[in-house]
Amino acid sequence: MTATVTASAPASPLRVGWMHANSVRDWWGHGHDRARRAAERRFGARIRTEVLDELGDGDGWSAAADSLASRASLVFVCDVTVTDRLERVAASHPTTRFVHCQGRRPSANVATYRAARDEHAFVSGMLAGAATRTGRLGLVEGARSAHDLLYTNAWILGALRSAPDARIELRWLGTYHAPDQAERERAAVAELIAAGVDVIGGNLAENPAVVAAAGEGGALVTAHDDRLSHLPQVLDASYLEWSPYVIRSIAAVLDGTWSARDDYLRASDGVVLNTPPAPWLPERARTRANDVASAIRAGRFDIWAGPIRDQAGELVVPAGSRLTEEYLDSDRLDWIAGSVTD
């Protein structure tokens, strides 16, 4: 466990904490810590921040949460795997406000928030479809869940918009944090490239192993970590900018208007973003992707409008229909779109 506390602060600043099961240096933790730093710049001496990371999601997390809640007025919990533990800690500290990323059970002092990752996945998929030369695309995924399928299906639909005849190979690793996670990811990328895949995406493209292995194997990749967007094999990075939400939450505590609400954050909120497409892509491909990204932000483009068929060819969304947010945010999203082999 590591801890970072900002330096000077007045006698009674608002104390704000962040809790991470994993490292604050990985893609997920980095995005949240960028928001913390933005809050420090915005509020200055009015707040004092503290970060606890590499906590795991077991008893050590609970002990750290209990300790942090005794000294902080607002705590951002960055991992969904600790939901049950968070509920117990929050009940024991009713005057501390908690904000749970990807949480689904808000309560009197627990707010929840998550991001519409389909909105930037579709744009990345468009670039992948435009960049393929073999017509074969690959996805490296963790564990099959509605949360992952939201991103996966949106990426596939974007790819098929650019390359309607593309074939897509999908590899489920079943894990995100195995002791040999990087080796598993590299092996999956190598297998995809051997099968003729020349562009790779997926939820695990958030990790440097997938991005590096793609480049080493001569493939292109759509990443998630914007710190990797400069690499020559990266088409773009679909990333999360939590700063607007974090600043809004802290401001609400400071001015006494905070409430335990559930927020679903979008591109229009400045949270769900894509880095600029790789400059070496054809101008037409870059323009089309940028135009769709702008239309999504403005609410003028519906990713989930039918017709949409699943990998078995069954019509899951008829023409003239669309999938609702309620459907997309539930376990009913249990299919994979398009011509996919997994």
- Asked if residue 103 is part of any domain, the answer here is yes
240 pLDDT more than 60: yes
> Is residue 90 domain-shared with residue 231, that is, in the same domain?
no
Q: What is the pLDDT of residue 201?
A: 98
The whole-angstrom separation of Cα 251 and Cα 257 is: 8
- The 10s digit of each residue's pLDDT in 112-136 is 999 999 999 999 999 999 999 999 9
Same structural domain, 63 and 14: yes
For residue 9, what pLDDT is reported?
Answer: 37
Q: Which of 50, 84, 115 is the last residue of a domain?
A: 115
Q: Please tell me whether residues 179 and 212 are part of one structural domain.
A: yes
Beta pairing class for 272-274 and 234-240: antiparallel
Last residue of a domain, one of 115, 148, 163: 115
**How does residue 5 score in pLDDT terms, banded at 50, 70 and 90?**
very low
Q: Per the domain annotation, does 202 fall within a domain? A: yes
CATH number of the CATH domain containing 20: 3.40.50.2300
Cα 342 from chain centroid (whole Å): 22
pLDDT confidence band for 307 (50 / 70 / 90): very high
Residue 283 in tokens = 């101008």
**8 A C-beta contact, residue 222 and residue 127:** yes
Let me know whether 80 and 150 are in one domain. no
Contacts of 69 (CB under 8 A, 6+ apart): 75, 89, 90, 92, 93, 96, 98
**pLDDT value at position 195?**
96
The pLDDT value recorded for residue 98 is 98
Q: pLDDT tens digit string along 27-41?
A: 999 999 999 999 999
Confidence tier at 11 by pLDDT (50, 70, 90):
very low
Q: Is residue 278 part of a domain?
A: yes
In a shared domain, residues 282 and 151:
yes
pLDDT at site 141: 97
Question: Is the predicted pLDDT of residue 2 greater than 70, yes or no?
Answer: no
Say yes or no to pLDDT of 239 above 90: yes
Q: Are residues 81 and 132 in the same domain?
A: no
Structure token digits, residue 53:
């990371």
pLDDT in tens, 174-189: 999 899 999 999 999 9
Nearest residue to 219 (alpha-carbon basis) of 336, 300, 134, 121:
134
Does 263 reside within a domain?
no
Edge-to-edge order in the sheet of strand 199-201: 272-274, 234-240, 220-223, 199-201, 136-141, 167-172, 340-341
More confident residue, 339 or 27: 27
pLDDT confidence of residue 94: 96
Q: What is the largest CA-CA distance in the chain?
A: 64
Q: Tell me, letter by letter, the H, E, C secondary structure of the chain.
A: CEEEECCCCCCCCEEEEEECCCCCCCHHHHHHHHHHHHHHHHHHHHEEEEEEECCCCCHHHHHHHHHHHCCCCEEEECCHHHHHHHHHHHHHCCCCEEEEECCCCCECCEEEEEECCHHHHHHHHHHHHHHCCCCEEEEEECCCCHHHHHHHHHHHHHHHHHCCCCEEEEEECCCCCCCCHHHHHHHHHHHHHHCCCCEEECHHHHCHHHHHHHHHCCCEEEECCHHHCCCCCEEEEEEECCHHHHHHHHHHHHCCCCCCCEEEECHHHCCEEECCCCCCCCHHHHHHHHHHHHHHHCCCCCCCECCEEECCCCEEECCCCECCHHHHCCCCCCCCECCEEC
Confidence of residue 339 (pLDDT cuts 50, 70, 90): confident
Please check whether residues 104 and 169 belong to one and the same domain. Answer: no
Same-domain pairing of 21 and 131: no
pLDDT at 233: 98
Quick one: 151 and 32 in the same domain?
A: no
Domain-located, residue 145: yes
Q: Is residue 256 part of a domain?
A: no
Q: What is the pTM of this model?
A: 0.93
How many domains would you assign to the chain? 2
Residue 340 confidence (pLDDT): 87
Looking at the fold, whether 101 and 127 belong to one and the same domain comes out as no
Q: Alpha-carbon distance 334 to 28, whole Å?
A: 24
The rounded percent of the chain whose pLDDT value lies above 90 is: 92
Mean pLDDT of 74-89: 96
* pLDDT above 80 for 261: yes
Q: Which residue range forms the structural domain that includes residue 129?
A: 118-240+272-341
Among 115, 134, 166, which residue terminates a domain? 115
Q: What is the mean pLDDT of the chain?
A: 94
Q: Does residue 3 surpass a pLDDT of 90?
A: no
- Residue 329 is predicted with a pLDDT of 84
Quote the tokens at residue 236.
């773009």
**pLDDT for res 104:** 85
165 & 45 share domain: no
100 part of a folded domain: yes
pLDDT at 7 over 50: no
